[in-house]
Chain A
Amino acid sequence: MDAFNGFDVNKIRADFPILQRDVRPGVRLVYLDSTATSQKPLEVIQAMDQFYRQSNANIHRGIHTLAEESTALFEAARDRIAKFINAPSSRQIIFTRNTTEAINLVAYAWGRANLKEGDLVILTEMEHHSNLVPWQMLAAERNLRLEFISVTPDGYLDLDSYRKLLDLNPRLVGFAHMSNVLGTINPAREIIELAHRAGAVALVDGAQSVPHFRVDVQEFKPDFMAFSAHKMVGPTGIGVLYGRKDLLETMPPFLGGGDMIKRVHLRSFAPNEIPHKFEAGTPAIAEAIGFKAAVDYLTRVGLDNISQHEHHVVEYAMDRLEEIPGIKVFGPPAADRGGVVSFTLQGVHPHDISQILDSDGIAIRAGHHCAMPLHEKFGLPATARASFYLYNTTAEVDQLANSIYKVKQIFGS
């Protein structure tokens, strides 16, 4: 069942040049690491190539044809991305380098202006380091209190522990929409609603959700949401912070420099309007244009089709992996997760699994996946992680399973 509703995974695969390459002679790439970064379809690569061939100029200042063209293309990308997440206004889309920078922007600009000694920030035990370390840094600077929604043994957020924390008058609740290790899709709407009722601002790390299923910010009402282009078939080097307009407007700027100002005197400046207030210096222009092409591509394929396909592949993957003796899969059942499966194999370190899989052309991730606290919680130094996107097939899952049997043979496990 790799085709339905006009969705045909083989047609999709043909759009991605890299999927046609051999990792070594006669060994075709099996790319199961899209949670780290996704591959790019030809039209994204071409959009960026075309920009450099035709329209390259700096944006917002020049009064020449190329500057007009590049500015129009850059701002069209912002409009397109706003529409993609159903943001009320494209002024609420701030371009950053990536999800990490977007979260840092919230911590530094909103956090420094709004949090004082003793204030409580609630995060979760399943956060990526990008949604832990900025808050740890700010907590050290401001003497904030950090508390964490605990993770249950089967990989869910413990909402009872969350409700207890809410009684402590939190100022911000930050959480991953989907875990990059366990694959758990968290109940964002409920978490945000409870945060708002407690008077807190809600920050969503959408790095793993926005690429994989339909995310409508007017439906689940995050105050801030961060995501990256490169995990959603777009280029590296560009990400987005979506923010509530009144919050963005009252926040001080993040980085200082060109484009973020209205006026500059020798000893003072007046900041520009949003979103430009938060975009100092020449941004990633070609990447914004590539980002738009990526969103166009995903929209044409259909986010519902993508999530349905991924669900089918991950369900099959969990069945195939769980039947292998010595494998332990972490996280919730397929019904409650996205296209991510983290596992261990008795007696074999994940690095060795990954290395042997590589000899069969299979790319997975091994390590702590930038979530050391979660691995500590489960008592694991590392896990192996296979992740799936719109271009992966059940045949690739079979290759993964066969290759894991080879690992077992080499290690006699």
Chain B
Amino acid sequence: MDDLYRELIIDRYKNPIYRGVLDPHDISFEDDNPLCGDHIRIDLRVDENGIVKEAAFEGHGCAISQASADLLLESIIGKPVEEIKAMTKTDLLDLLGLELGPVRLKCALLSLKVLKAGLYGLGEADDDLVE
């Protein structure tokens, strides 16, 4: 637990760098975690070469879900969309440096699900996206 709430997570929860809205944007997607009501919306600007130039998120939820979104967006800026589409659960957990039980895993993964559903242009985010 003490690892779970290490300084990085608390800091990015309280002082997120990528919180906000991009208007206009090239891609936008939002979804909820029905278990706990966590909500994440992600906006992206992508250039003509398919590189993510800017990213922002809005939402509410626990420290894990919100810090995860902030750290995820930080990691994808400057990356090609095709590379981001290949990201998995393991990549995100490496980013967070956390080991999580099944319930909290859903909090952490919400941002990646939303991001990938947006990139794939899907109607809804589902768990298979991050396996």
Determine if A382 and B36 form an interchain contact, defined as CB atoms under 8 angstroms apart: yes
Determine if B10 and A410 form an interchain contact, defined as CB atoms under 8 angstroms apart: yes
Chain A residues numbered 324-349 whose CB sits less than 8 Å from any CB in chain B: 347-349
Is A322 close to B, CB under 8 A?
no
Determine if B62 and A349 form an interchain contact, defined as CB atoms under 8 angstroms apart: yes
Determine if B35 and A349 form an interchain contact, defined as CB atoms under 8 angstroms apart: no
Cβ contacts A340-382/B at 8 Å (1 or 0 each): 0000000111111001101100000011100010010000011
Q: List 14 interface pairs A-B (beta carbons < 8 Å), by A numbering.
A: A347-B14, A349-B62, A349-B63, A351-B61, A351-B107, A352-B63, A355-B5, A367-B35, A368-B37, A375-B37, A382-B36, A382-B37, A410-B10, A411-B10
Q: How far is the CB of A199 from chain B (nearest CB, A)?
A: 38
Determine if A355 and B4 form an interchain contact, defined as CB atoms under 8 angstroms apart: yes
Cβ contacts B8-39/A at 8 Å (1 or 0 each): 00100010000000000000000000011111
- Provide the bound-state CA to CA distance between A347 and B36, in Å: 17
- Provide the bound-state CA to CA distance between A368 and B10, in Å: 23
Determine if B5 and A349 form an interchain contact, defined as CB atoms under 8 angstroms apart: no
| Residue of A with least CB distance to B7 | A410
Determine if B64 and A351 form an interchain contact, defined as CB atoms under 8 angstroms apart: yes
Is A26 close to B, CB under 8 A?
no
Is A412 close to B, CB under 8 A?
yes
**Which of A348, A352, A381 has its CB near the most chain B CB atoms (within 10 A)?**
A352
- Provide the bound-state CA to CA distance between A412 and B38, in Å: 22
Is B79 close to A, CB under 8 A?
no
Inter-chain contacts of A412 with B (CB < 8 A) = 10, 14
- Provide the bound-state CA to CA distance between A410 and B14, in Å: 12
Is B131 close to A, CB under 8 A?
no
- Provide the bound-state CA to CA distance between A382 and B63, in Å: 14
Is B127 close to A, CB under 8 A?
no
How many B residues touch A, CB cutoff 8 Å? Answer: 18
| Residue of B with least CB distance to A380 | B37
Inter-chain contacts of B62 with A (CB < 8 A) = 349-352, 355
| Residue of A with least CB distance to B39 | A381
| Residue of A with least CB distance to B66 | A349
Determine if B104 and A349 form an interchain contact, defined as CB atoms under 8 angstroms apart: no
Is the interface on chain A under 10, 10 to 19, 20 to 34, or 35 or more residues?
A: 20 to 34
Q: How far is the CB of B10 from chain A (nearest CB, A)?
A: 6
Q: How far is the CB of A369 from chain B (nearest CB, A)?
A: 11
Determine if B1 and A355 form an interchain contact, defined as CB atoms under 8 angstroms apart: yes
Inter-chain contacts of B35 with A (CB < 8 A) = 367
Given the known A-B contacts A351-B61, A352-B62, A352-B63, are A366 and B1 also in contact in the complex, defined by CB atoms under 8 Å? no
- Provide the bound-state CA to CA distance between A399 and B119, in Å: 46
Determine if A366 and B10 form an interchain contact, defined as CB atoms under 8 angstroms apart: no
4 closest cross-chain pairs (CB), A and B: A351-B62, A359-B1, A349-B62, A381-B37
Chain A residues numbered 398-413 whose CB sits less than 8 Å from any CB in chain B: 410-412
Cβ contacts B64-101/A at 8 Å (1 or 0 each): 10000000000000000000000000000000000000
Determine if A367 and B1 form an interchain contact, defined as CB atoms under 8 angstroms apart: no
| Residue of A with least CB distance to B32 | A381
| Residue of B with least CB distance to A372 | B37
| Residue of B with least CB distance to A348 | B63
Determine if B61 and A381 form an interchain contact, defined as CB atoms under 8 angstroms apart: yes
Q: How far is the CB of B33 from chain A (nearest CB, A)?
A: 10
Q: How far is the CB of B108 from chain A (nearest CB, A)?
A: 11
Inter-chain contacts of B53 with A (CB < 8 A) = none
Inter-chain contacts of B5 with A (CB < 8 A) = 352, 355-356, 410-411
Known: A355-B4, A367-B35, A368-B36. 10 other contacts (CB 8 A): A349-B62, A349-B63, A351-B61, A359-B2, A366-B36, A381-B37, A381-B60, A411-B10, A411-B14, A412-B14
Determine if B37 and A367 form an interchain contact, defined as CB atoms under 8 angstroms apart: yes
- Provide the bound-state CA to CA distance between A352 and B10, in Å: 10
Inter-chain contacts of A372 with B (CB < 8 A) = 37
Inter-chain contacts of B104 with A (CB < 8 A) = 351, 355
- Provide the bound-state CA to CA distance between A356 and B14, in Å: 17
- Provide the bound-state CA to CA distance between A348 and B64, in Å: 11
Inter-chain contacts of B39 with A (CB < 8 A) = 381
**Which of A347, A349, A410 has its CB near the most chain B CB atoms (within 10 A)?**
A349
Chain B residues numbered 36-67 whose CB sits less than 8 Å from any CB in chain A: 36-39, 60-64
Q: How far is the CB of B37 from chain A (nearest CB, A)?
A: 4
- Provide the bound-state CA to CA distance between A227 and B35, in Å: 24
- Provide the bound-state CA to CA distance between A167 and B64, in Å: 49
Inter-chain contacts of B63 with A (CB < 8 A) = 348-349, 352, 411
Q: How far is the CB of A366 from chain B (nearest CB, A)?
A: 7
Q: How far is the CB of B97 from chain A (nearest CB, A)?
A: 16
